[in-house]
Structure 1
Amino acid sequence: MPLALYGHPFSSYTQKVLIALYENALPFAFRCVSPDHPAHTADWLRRWPLRKFPLLLDGNRAVVETSIIIEYLQLRHPGPVRLIPDDPEAALEVRFLDRFFDLHVMDAAQHAVNGAITGNPVKRAEGLALSIEKLDRAYLWAEGHLAGRTWAAGADFSLADCAAAPSLFYADWVHPIPDACPTLRAYRARLLARPAFARAVNEARPFRHLFPLGAPDRD
Structure 2
Amino acid sequence: VCDSQGRLLDLFVTAGQASDYIGARALLSGLPKVEWLLGDRGYDDDWFREALEDTGVGACIPGRKQRKAPVKYDKRRYKRRNRIEIMFERLEDWRRVATRYDRCPKVFLSAIALAGIVIYWPWNSMSPDSSCVLVGVCSFVRIDDLPEDLPGRDKMAEWGEWASSGNASIIAPGGRVLAGPAQMTQGLIEAEVDRSAVAERRRLFDVAGHYARPEVFTLHVDRTHKEPVQLH
TM-score bracket, shorter-length normalisation: under 0.3
Higher relative contact order (CA 8 A, sep 6+): 1
Larger radius of gyration between Structure 1 and Structure 2: 2
**Structure-2-length-normalised TM-score:** 0.24
Higher helix share: 1
**Structure-1-length-normalised TM-score:** 0.25
